[in-house]
């Protein structure tokens, strides 16, 4: 009975596969310390060593697709260079021939996909029982990634396996070898496994459905079809991943072309070891090995050339995140300094956007328009993506600062530049603090405890008050800006004291767990520090030298603080 193609299972398999790839790459980035990076580089350093390494690993894992996907993850995480990654992929094609020999000798029993469920089970159990900050947690995510990867492959393979096996290969028997190459490509692309399509080819050859030359042509096509797995994994990947996947396609296409041109000579050579008429399965396994080894030997000297070509074809697209620095020359220090100040104020706004979203506050309560990052992206950025983009902007600001510092500046200009870059650092430290306490704030919000819920709402209110103050202060000038900024700092300190006083009273009453009180105090310290740092950044960005001196003096002597506190007491 003819089995239809299960589209939903195919699409679900693709989704699970891509998610597994994402988990693998993300966990590798987190796990790849210096020792791990050194080990990877050591054993895959150089064309020949990387090719041998790819051959051995593929022989052990019994899956060229799995090795190719790991290479994409390693290259994407910066653990492996692109050139070495290409070498490993070339070697994986040789390694997969060992799998074919095992299939030819022992049948079709070995399936690496059968490891998927144990990997997901073990990885999931470790994941929920380990701390998110531990290396065990990241290792469990890597294991889960592998599991989902193989499960996705298995879903995709299963959705079309029965459909593919019921295709009538005899119907295309009167066409030339090129059509069997195409047939091998399609079957392998659909099943996401060259081994599965070669198994079908073995079956067809063994039952006499096709001749040996037809089977050899299908095996050539299977080598091209297996690149689809890697190409799918590179969807949405960074440029280096696209280069490696393109190199895999180019190598397999070139190898297939050489094998197709030399089809008859290779069959003649194979017949000296195994008679295709008597032992076609072993002869086909030898044919598969011969043309892959031949392709690797021909390709090896050109890896460096291909690497350079792919770099030009897929250049790094460095997105310009700055708004004011792009067209400002550093040769004019006055204009460059003004642009730098404006860019750091832009950095502050993006930092505020991150902190608002981290605390579940609608940014429209603070900003009346969409900020530049999301205007460029044309969509709402995920919180982690927004954080990474803010870091990149800070890097561009620092790079511009370094170039400006190289110009001939007087002492006053140099001093002003130091203040500006110090403000930029304060902003980044503020956003880092909020990122560090984000999960604690989420726990306070979700807690089954009214006091923790109320403290979470108070954190949000304090942040809103600060940002409204900052937006108002940015519109002021002169002494009014200076005094309002000091007043805002006083309000911040008073809120901090009220918070500590209230928590100490709750702790003394014994109605709260000691751990919860400790968490609240720790979060408050980092939160208050983040708010202070933003006020200090505004001070360095907007106040004059004299005002900055007076501001710092007021904080040291606490004269203005005492005055404001007395005024607050009278008001109450």
Task: Give the least confident one: 126-135, 346-355, 447-456, 467-476.
Answer: 126-135
Question: Which of 27-36, 60-69, 138-147, 223-232 reaches the highest mean pLDDT?
Answer: 138-147
State whether 245 and 385 are in the same domain: no
Check residue 61 and give its pLDDT: 53
The answer, yes or no, to whether residue 6 has pLDDT greater than 60, is yes
Establish if 299 belongs to a structural domain.
yes
Check: CB of residue 173 under 8 Å from CB of residue 59: no
What DSSP element (H or E) covers 331?
Answer: none
Query: Is 324 a domain residue?
Result: no
Q: Quick check: is 124 in a domain?
A: yes
Q: Is the pLDDT of residue 87 over 60?
A: yes
Total domains, the chain: 2
The separation between CA 282 and the C-alpha centre of its own chain, rounded to angstroms, equals 43
What was the pLDDT predicted at 525? 93
Question: What percentage of the chain has pLDDT greater than the value 70?
Answer: 69
* 303 and 173 share one domain: yes
Q: Which domain holds residue 228?
A: 7-313
Report yes or no on 40 lying in a domain: yes
For residues 320, 323, 329, 335, the Cα torsion angle rounded to the nearest 10 degrees is -160
- Which tops the pLDDT comparison, 538 or 114? 538
Structure confidence at residue 384 as a pLDDT band (50, 70, 90): confident
Q: Which residue has the higher pLDDT, 436 or 267?
A: 436
Asked if residue 293 and residue 185 are part of one domain, the reply reads yes
Residue 397's domain is classified under what CATH number? 1.20.58
**17 or 522: which leads in pLDDT:** 522
Report, as an integer, the average pLDDT of 40-47.
60
Q: What pLDDT is recorded for position 111?
A: 55
Q: What local confidence, expressed as pLDDT, does residue 133 receive? A: 73
Distance CA 384, CA 138 (A): 17
Give the model's pLDDT for residue 411.
84
Among 278, 313, 348, which residue terminates a domain? 313
Neighbours of 271 (CB within 10 A): 15
- Supply the Cα-derived Rg of the chain in whole angstroms: 31
Q: Is the pLDDT of residue 1 over 60?
A: no
**Residue 327 included in any domain:** no
Instruction: Answer with the one of 257, 281, 313 that is the final residue of a domain.
Output: 313
Which pLDDT band holds residue 130 (cuts at 50, 70, 90)? confident
Verify that 433 and 300 share a domain, yes or no.
no
166 belongs to a structural domain = yes
Q: How far is CA 78 from CA 9, 31, 309, in A?
A: 33, 12, 20
Of 279, 530, 288, residue with least CA distance to 429: 530
* pTM (predicted TM-score): 0.54
- pLDDT confidence band for 230 (50 / 70 / 90): low
Q: Does residue 193 share a domain with residue 48?
A: yes
Percentage helix, strand, coil for the chain under 3-state DSSP, each rounded to 5: 80, 0, 20
Domain boundary among 252, 282, 313: 313
Q: Are residues 194 and 341 in the same domain?
A: no
Element (H, E) at 130: none
Q: Are residues 21 and 62 in the same domain?
A: yes
Task: Name the residue with higher pLDDT: 160 or 104.
Answer: 104
* Domain co-membership, 272 together with 169: yes
Share of the chain above pLDDT 90, in %: 13
- pLDDT value at 109 more than 50: no
- For the segment 25-48, the average pLDDT, to the nearest whole number, is 58
The overall average pLDDT reported for the chain is 76
pLDDT in the model for residue 385? 81
Q: What angle separates helix 7-31 from helix 135-165, to the nearest 10 degrees?
A: 150
Kindly indicate the confidence band of residue 127, based on its pLDDT and cuts at 50, 70 and 90: confident
Shared-domain flag, residues 307 and 343: no
* Amino acid 162: pLDDT: 57
411-456 pLDDT, tens per residue?
Answer: 888 888 899 999 999 999 999 999 999 888 888 888 888 888 899 9
Among 100-109, 128-137, 225-234, 540-549, name the one with the lowest average pLDDT: 100-109
pLDDT at 107: 45
pLDDT of residue 60: 56
Please tell me whether residues 263 and 340 are part of one structural domain.
no
Asked if residue 77 is part of any domain, the answer here is yes
DSSP designation for 104: H
Task: Report the pLDDT averaged over residues 126-147.
Answer: 82
pLDDT score, position 180: 75
Q: How confident is the model at residue 538 (pLDDT cuts 50, 70, 90)?
A: very high
**Are 295 and 354 found together in one domain?**
no
**Better pLDDT: 463 or 316:** 463
pLDDT at 565: 55
The number of beta carbons lying within 10 Å of the beta carbon of residue 446 is: 11
Residues 142 and 184 in one domain: yes
Assess if residue 42 is contained within a domain: yes
């Amino acid at each position: 009975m003819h089995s239809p193609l299960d589209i939903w299972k195919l699409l679900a398999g693709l989704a699970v596969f891509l998610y597994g790839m994402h988990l693998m790459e993300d966990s590798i980035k987190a796990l790849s310390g210096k020792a791990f990076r050194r080990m990877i580089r050591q054993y895959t350093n150089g064309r020949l060593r990387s090719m041998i390494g790819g051959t051995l690993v593929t022989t052990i894992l019994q899956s060229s697709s799995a090795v190719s996907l790991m290479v994409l993850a390693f290259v994407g995480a910066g653990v492996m260079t692109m050139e070495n990654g290409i070498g490993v992929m070339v070697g994986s094609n040789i390694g997969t021939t060992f799998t074919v020999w095992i299939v030819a000798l022992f049948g079709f029993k070995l399936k690496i996909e059968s490891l998927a469920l144990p990997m997901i089970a073990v990885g999931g159990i470790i994941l929920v029982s380990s701390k998110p900050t531990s290396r065990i947690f990241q290792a469990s995510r890597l294991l889960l990634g592998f599991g989902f990867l193989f499960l996705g492959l298995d879903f995709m393979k299963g959705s079309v396996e029965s459909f593919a096996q019921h295709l009538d290969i005899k119907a295309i028997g009167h066409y030339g070898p090129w059509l069997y190459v195409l047939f091998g490509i399609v079957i392998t692309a659909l099943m996401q496994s060259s081994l599965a399509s070669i198994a079908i080819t073995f079956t067809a050859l063994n039952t006499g459905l096709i001749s040996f030359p037809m089977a050899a042509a299908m095996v050539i096509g299977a080598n091209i079809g297996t690149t689809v797995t890697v190409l799918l994994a590179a969807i949405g990947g960074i440029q280096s991943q696209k280069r490696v996947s393109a190199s895999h396609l180019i190598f397999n296409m070139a190898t297939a072309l050489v094998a197709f041109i030399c089809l008859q000579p290779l069959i003649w050579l194979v017949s000296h070891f195994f008679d295709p008429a008597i032992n076609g399965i072993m002869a086909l396994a030898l044919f598969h090995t011969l043309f892959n080894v031949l392709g690797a030997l021909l390709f090896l000297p050109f890896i460096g050339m291909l690497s350079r070509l792919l770099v030009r074809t897929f250049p790094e697209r460095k997105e310009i995140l700055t708004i004011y620095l792009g067209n400002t020359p550093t040769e004019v220090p006055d204009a460059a300094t003004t642009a730098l100040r404006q860019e750091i104020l832009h950095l502050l706004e993006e930092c505020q956007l991150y902190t608002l979203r981290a605390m579940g506050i609608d940014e429209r309560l603070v900003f009346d328009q969409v900020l530049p990052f999301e205007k460029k992206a044309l969509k709402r950025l995920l919180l982690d993506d927004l954080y990474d983009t803010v870091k990149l902007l800070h890097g561009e600001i620092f790079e511009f600062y370094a170039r400006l510092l190289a110009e001939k500046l007087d002492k006053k200009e140099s001093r002003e530049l130091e203040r500006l870059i110090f403000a930029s650092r304060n902003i980044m430290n503020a956003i880092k603090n909020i990122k560090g306490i984000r999960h604690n704030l989420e726990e306070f919000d979700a807690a089954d405890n009214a006091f923790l819920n109320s403290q979470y709402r108070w954190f949000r209110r304090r942040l809103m008050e600060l940002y409204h103050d900052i937006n108002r202060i940015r519109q002021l000038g002169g002494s009014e800006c200076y005094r309002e900024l000091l007043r805002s700092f006083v309000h911040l300190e008073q809120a901090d004291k009220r918070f500590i006083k209230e928590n100490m009273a709750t702790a003394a009453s014994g109605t709260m767990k000691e751990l919860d009180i400790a968490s609240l105090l720790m979060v408050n310290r980092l939160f208050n520090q983040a708010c202070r740092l933003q006020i200090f950044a505004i001070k360095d960005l907007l106040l004059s030298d004299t005002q900055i001196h007076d501001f710092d003096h007021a904080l040291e002597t606490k004269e203005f603080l005492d005055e404001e506190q007395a005024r607050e007491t009278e008001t109450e």
